[in-house]
Structures are given as C-alpha cells and as structure tokens.
C-alpha cells in the first residue's frame, strides 16, 4: 500500500536514474559509490534543504507542499505521467485520499453490449481486461493471439502473467523486453491509484516471487498507463505479423478493451485473417 515509504522509494528510484550531466552538473572526479544523483545534489536542484529531502526519502516527512512536489518533479525531469504518480503517492502519504470506490467483484461481469462488440469485431483480435489485466472476455481471435493462453484455466488468464510466466511468451512477442517493461510499469501505476485492490497485491506478489526479471523491473519504479501501440508476433500458427492495437477504456466498469487490426490488403492483414480461420478450424 502506498505510504510515506512508497513516496521515498519512488524519489530514490527516480534520483538513481539521473546522472549529474543529465541536469547540468559536472560529473566530478572518481567513481560514485551509488548510481545517480546524490541527495544533496537533488536537494539543491529542487531548492529544499538536504535534511528535509532526507526526511522525505526516509518517510519521516509525510506532507510535502505542492510547490515542493513541483520542484522535485522538475529536478527529477519527470514527465507528466511520472509527475502524476508522484502526486498520487504524496496524497496517500499525507492521508489525502479520495473516498473508496465500490468494491470490484471478484470476477467482474462484462456487459452484454460489450460482448456483442467483441463478436462483431472479428476477424480483428479483441478482448476485455480488468484493471489488473485479467482476461474477462475475448473473441476467438483475441484468445488465439496469445499462443498457449487457452491452456490456462480462465481464472489464470492474465496478459501480464502471460508475459512473465508463460513459456510461449518470449518466442511469441518479438519485443519481449518492451512488453515486460511496460507491463511492470503498468502495474506500478496502479499502486498509486488503487492500492487496496487485493487482486493487484496478489498479482505483484506472485510475479515478484516467480520471476527475477519482473522483480528487477519492479525495483525501477517505472510507471506507464496502457495505451495503443504496435506489436509484432512470431505466431506458431500463422508466422510473423505486426498489428496495431487500440485501448478503449470502459470507465464505468473499470475495464478496458484492446482491439488489434491491420491495413486490409497487407500481409499482416492476411495473417490476421488466417489466425481467425485457424480458430474456426479448431472448433470444427
């Protein structure tokens, strides 16, 4: 659960990624004992005392002002998403949290209209995910896109779990490193917005215990909201193809839909159609 220590951990991780030369400071002679900026360097850049900054990192100062947070964000070269994460952690540290939302059902229900959309989107692969990336519903192509996902029982089908723990993931995803880093960063983003979600805590604990690469990525404290992109797949059924995907947020249900597509008439589109045909063959 985010707290003053979570805020300090985030500041420390962001500080460690910056070199003196990144912020206009001389590198200085010799090797540094720790990576990144020193505490006193960051404090000077942000215009706060070193003692005050140390208390922030140690979790002893729990109510930094908006001005201090803005100054730290500038000194740390945070982008808009990283700064929003910093502010959310600060709100939790200070006890400034919004009223709790209604609890999410253990297995959220996907509305009938959304299920109809999944079917109408064929042959484009599409699926609906929970906040923690559980697959709540998918058309046949959406499930087939993640080779071997259907071998897992429905309650285990989670796209982030797949990236780190399914044996097919590294050969399927052409850029596995990017998929892994963005997946870990997506989970890290959720820890500031809904820290009391037991499904989130359980998934993080599982991945930290099962995969050293996830554990290493988790320590980086990167944040990244899921958004549209391109993915290349080395699929065992249809070969290599690249699809664009869009993410549609179903905010009222705290769910999101991912839809993959390709330009008609291209080899990528042909491969997508072939994937769809393979799902029909598998059911006959």
**pLDDT means over runs of 10, the chain (284 residues):** 75 91 73 80 94 92 92 95 92 73 67 96 97 96 97 96 97 97 94 83 96 96 88 97 95 86 97 93 52
**Integer Cα distance of 178 and 189 in angstroms:** 16
Rounded alpha-carbon distances, angstroms, from residue 107 to 18, 47, 50, 58, 201:
41, 48, 48, 38, 16
Residue 241 has a pLDDT of: 98
- Other CB atoms closer than 10 Å to residue 61's CB: what's the count? 20
Q: In what order do the strands lie in the sheet with 126-129?
A: 135-138, 126-129, 255-261, 239-250, 229-235
Residue 252 has a pLDDT of: 67
**Integer Cα distance of 223 and 187 in angstroms:** 8
Nearest Cα neighbor of 219 from 186, 170, 185, 192 is 185
Burial class, 170, CB count within 10 angstroms (exposed 0-12 / middle 13-18 / buried 19+): middle
Residue 1 has a pLDDT of: 43
**Integer Cα distance of 239 and 235 in angstroms:** 5
Residue 253 has a pLDDT of: 67
Residue 284 has a pLDDT of: 43
Q: What is the pTM of this model?
A: 0.86
């Amino acid at each position: 659960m985010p707290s003053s220590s979570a805020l300090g951990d985030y500041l420390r991780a962001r500080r460690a990624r910056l070199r003196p030369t990144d912020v206009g400071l001389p590198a200085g002679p010799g090797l540094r004992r720790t990576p990144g900026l020193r505490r006193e360097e960051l404090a000077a850049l942000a215009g706060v005392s070193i003692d005050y900054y140390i208390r922030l990192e140690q979790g002893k100062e729990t109510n930094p002002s908006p001005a201090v947070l803005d100054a730290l964000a500038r000194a740390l070269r945070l982008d808009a998403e990283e700064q929003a994460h910093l502010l959310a952690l600060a709100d939790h540290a200070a006890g400034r949290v919004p009223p709790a939302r209604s609890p999410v059902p253990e297995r959220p229900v996907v509305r009938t209209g959304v299920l109809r959309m999944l079917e109408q989107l064929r042959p484009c692969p599409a699926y609906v995910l929970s906040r923690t990336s559980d697959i709540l519903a998918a058309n046949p192509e959406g499930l087939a896109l993640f080779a071997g996902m259907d071998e897992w029982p429905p309650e285990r089908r989670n796209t982030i779990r797949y990236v780190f723990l399914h044996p097919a993931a590294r050969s399927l995803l052409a850029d596995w490193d990017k998929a892994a880093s963005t997946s870990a960063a997506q989970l890290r983003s959720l820890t500031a917005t809904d820290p009391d979600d037991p499904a989130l805590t359980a998934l993080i604990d599982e991945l930290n215990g099962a995969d050293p690469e996830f554990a290493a990525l988790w320590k980086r404290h990167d944040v990244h909201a899921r958004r549209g992109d391109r993915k290349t797949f080395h699929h065992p059924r249809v070969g290599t193809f690249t699809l664009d995907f869009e993410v549609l947020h179903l905010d009222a249900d705290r769910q999101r839909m991912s839809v993959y597509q390709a330009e008609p008439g291209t080899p990528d589109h042909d491969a997508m159609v072939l994937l769809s045909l393979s799902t029909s063959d598998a059911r006959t």
